[in-house]
């Protein structure tokens, strides 16, 4: 059996399955789909033990909301007593000393954690090809990449190797692979979900979020994970349920609709969807967004700057891998880092160090911060007048493995997703259409800050109406 949603799990439990039998069927399925390379490690014994505990709780009627559900986690989310490496050699052998708050909140509701999932090294990438464990294959077409950086999480949810999975989104790493695997991917508002226990890439962008096979599930899971956490000072205490007055107006951005990189079929679908929304009574308002050209550069200046600082802790002394051939402190740092980090991570550490360096700081880092403010202001201005901004998630569909070697070409895959990370807004990618090449692509909705519940429910409604 394959279970893809929380409601399917509830149904299975009602019809006599147990958490244990459900967990076993997931374990079997994970092994059947090993060729996808989505799982780095299966927590088999642990999951079976958890399942038995959950069954005891079900019998006692003390089970939580996620009893019977099985989650798999991106390899940058800490789970106490289990390995975590961010798919990097530099964290080889490292074990988490604590559990990420977001995950703990799901465990408190009796979710079973079945394993950790492949991703781009330190979540840097758009194709899941920079992992030390090798690339993940797209379950819908194994000659294609699943997207990244949370490629393993996308494939695990899409192939129903778990009830839902967790990923992280710094510049699109949940929404972009969701678009390419026909799943729902949600990046919550920055601050909605605690980052405690998420291995940091770019701290002012990173958010944990779910991959699911329904909007209901994205809502249930994000709501459970969200809320103030004393271990993350940027986490917000704002209520999940915020009263929002619906305006019946959706925004589109001219520069996005007309972007030369947009696949012609994606573009055609975008226009026909806009027409449908009009037909069912929505007003569509078109805006100019004068910072289109600045989105990707601003993102890469700021995220690499933050990464160069965050990744300085991996020095061969404090965590994981240490070069065996090194003599003395300096050489240990240099050799461990040279051997432990992959090419893309090194590129970003160097770029980030450069934009922060004396003499270039004002021209790059400080300037990018100013542009980020302009992007936020313009986004808020649009969302003051509209319920959501409607846009493609990705310019096209999943590409062949090894097809893109130029880093800039790879960075441009994020053109429609980095916007929400720069501005902090919640953004959801929903499965939308199949391209004539047979591959899926998603549609993205971005809403006002902390309107996470609102945008999920709006999409639920729009999905039904369409």
Segment lying near ligand GLN (by CB under 6 A), choices 82-90, 124-132, 250-258, 312-320: 124-132
SS3 (DSSP) at 24: helix
**What is the spatial order of strands in the sheet that 388-392 belongs to?**
39-42, 112-117, 70-74, 164-169, 207-212, 184-187, 427-434, 440-446, 388-392, 249-253, 283-287
Taking CB under 6 A as the rule, does residue 171 contact ligand GLN? yes
Taking CB under 6 A as the rule, does residue 125 contact ligand GLN? yes
Segment lying near ligand GLN (by CB under 6 A), choices 30-38, 171-179, 359-367, 397-405: 171-179
Q: Which is nearer to ligand GLN, 39 or 201 (CB)?
A: 201
Q: Which is nearer to ligand GLN, 18 or 204 (CB)?
A: 204
- What residues does 209 pair with on adjacent strands? 167
- What residues does 5 pair with on adjacent strands? none
Place of tokens 């899409």: 158
Taking CB under 6 A as the rule, does residue 169 contact ligand GLN? yes
Taking CB under 6 A as the rule, does residue 123 contact ligand GLN? yes
Segment lying near ligand GLN (by CB under 6 A), choices 84-92, 107-115, 167-175, 321-329: 167-175
Segment lying near ligand GLN (by CB under 6 A), choices 168-176, 273-281, 389-397, 436-444: 168-176
Taking CB under 6 A as the rule, does residue 444 contact ligand GLN? no
For residue 352, which of 306, 313, 305 has the smallest C-alpha distance? 305
Q: Are 143 and 114 in contact (CB under 8 A)?
A: no
Q: Cα(27)–Cα(398) distance, rounded to whole angstroms?
A: 27
User: Exactly one of 101, 303, 394, 429 binds ligand GLN (CB under 6 A); which one?
Assistant: 303
CB of 298 to ligand GLN, least distance (A): 12
The residue of the chain with the least Cβ separation from ligand GLN equals 173
Instruction: Identify whether 143 is a catalytic site residue.
Output: no
Mark residue 40 as left, alpha or beta (left: phi above 0; alpha: psi -120 to 50; beta: remaining). Answer: alpha
SS3 (DSSP) at 167: strand
Q: Which is nearer to ligand GLN, 69 or 292 (CB)?
A: 292
Q: Which is nearer to ligand GLN, 169 or 217 (CB)?
A: 169
Taking CB under 6 A as the rule, does residue 397 contact ligand GLN? no
Taking CB under 6 A as the rule, does residue 462 contact ligand GLN? no
Tell me the three-class secondary structure of 216-280, residue by residue.
Answer: HHHHHHHHHHECCECCECCCCCCCCCCCCCCCCEEEEEHHHHCCCCCCHHHHHHHHHHHHHHHHC
Taking CB under 6 A as the rule, does residue 212 contact ligand GLN? no
Which of 149, 179, 308, 423 is labelled catalytic? 149
Taking CB under 6 A as the rule, does residue 115 contact ligand GLN? no
Total interface residues for ligand GLN by CB under 6 A = 14
Q: What is the CA 382 to chain-centroid distance, rounded?
A: 25
CB of 266 to ligand GLN, least distance (A): 18
String of DSSP letters for 93-158: T-B-SS--HHHHHHHTTT-EEEEEE--SGGG--SSS-S-TT-PPPPTT-TTB---SSSHHHHHHHH
Taking CB under 6 A as the rule, does residue 149 contact ligand GLN? yes
Taking CB under 6 A as the rule, does residue 170 contact ligand GLN? yes
Residue 186 tokens read as: 């949600």
String of DSSP letters for 358-382: TTTTIIIIIHHHHHHHHHHHHHHHH
Which of 150, 158, 165, 173 is labelled catalytic? 173
CB of 126 to ligand GLN, least distance (A): 4
Q: Which is nearer to ligand GLN, 110 or 169 (CB)?
A: 169
Instruction: Identify whether 74 is a catalytic site residue.
Output: yes
SS3 (DSSP) at 183: coil
Taking CB under 6 A as the rule, does residue 172 contact ligand GLN? yes
Q: Cα(201)–Cα(309) distance, rounded to whole angstroms?
A: 9
Taking CB under 6 A as the rule, does residue 352 contact ligand GLN? no
For residue 417, which of 426, 405, 406 has the smallest C-alpha distance? 426
The single-letter DSSP state of residue 40 is: E
Which of 74, 144, 187, 223 is labelled catalytic? 74
Site for ligand GLN, rule CB under 6 A: 123-126, 149, 168-173, 201, 303, 414
Q: Which sequence positions are flagged as catalytic?
A: 74, 149, 173
């Amino acid at each position: 059996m394959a279970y893809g949603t929380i409601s399917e799990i509830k149904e299975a439990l009602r019809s006599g399955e147990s958490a244990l039998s459900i967990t076993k069927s997931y374990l079997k399925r994970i092994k059947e789909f090993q060729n996808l390379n989505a799982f780095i490690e299966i927590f088999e014994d642990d999951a079976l033990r958890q399942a038995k505990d959950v069954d005891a709780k079900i019998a006692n009627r003390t089970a939580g909301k996620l009893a019977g559900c099985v989650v798999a986690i991106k390899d940058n989310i800490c789970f106490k007593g289990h390995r975590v490496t961010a798919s990097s050699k530099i964290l080889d052998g490292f074990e988490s000393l604590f559990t990420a708050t977001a995950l703990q909140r799901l465990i408190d509701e009796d979710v079973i954690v079945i394993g950790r999932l492949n991703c781009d090294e330190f979540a840097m990438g758009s194709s899941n090809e920079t992992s030390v464990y090798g690339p993940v294959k797209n379950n819908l077409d194994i000659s294609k990449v699943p997207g990244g950086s949370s490629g393993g999480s996308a494939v695990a949810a899409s192939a129903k190797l778990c009830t839902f999975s967790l990923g992280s989104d710094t510049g699109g790493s949940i929404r972009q692979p969701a678009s390419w695997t026909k799943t729902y991917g949600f990046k919550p508002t920055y601050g909605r979900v605690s980052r405690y226990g998420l291995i940091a890439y770019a701290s002012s962008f990173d958010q944990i979020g779910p991959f699911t096979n329904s909007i209901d599930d994205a809502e249930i899971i994000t709501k459970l994970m969200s809320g103030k956490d004393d271990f993350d000072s940027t986490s917000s205490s704002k209520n999940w349920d915020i009263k929002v007055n619906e305006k019946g107006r959706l925004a589109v951005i001219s520069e996005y609709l007309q972007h030369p990189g947009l696949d012609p079929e994606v573009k055609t679908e975008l226009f026909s969807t806009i027409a449908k929304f009009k037909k069912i009574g929505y007003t569509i308002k078109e805006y100019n967004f004068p910072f289109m050209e600045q989105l990707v550069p601003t993102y890469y200046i700021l995220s690499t700057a933050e990464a160069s600082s965050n990744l300085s802790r991996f020095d061969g002394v404090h965590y994981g891998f240490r070069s065996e051939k090194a003599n003395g402190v300096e050489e240990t740092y240099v050799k461990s880092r040279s051997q432990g980090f992959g090419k893309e991570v090194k590129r970003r550490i160097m770029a980030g160090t450069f934009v922060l360096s004396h003499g270039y700081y004002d021209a790059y880092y400080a300037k990018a911060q100013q542009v980020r403010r302009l992007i936020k202001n313009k986004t808020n201005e649009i969302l003051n007048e509209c319920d959501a901004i409607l846009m493609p998630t990705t310019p096209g569909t999943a590409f062949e493995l090894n097809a893109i070697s130029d880093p800039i070409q790879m960075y441009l895959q994020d053109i429609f997703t980095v916007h929400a990370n720069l501005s902090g807004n919640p953004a959801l990618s929903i499965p939308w259409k199949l391209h004539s090449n047979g591959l899926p692509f998603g549609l993205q909705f971005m809403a006002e800050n902390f309107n996470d519940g609102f945008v999920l429910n709006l999409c639920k409604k729009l999905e039904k109406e369409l």
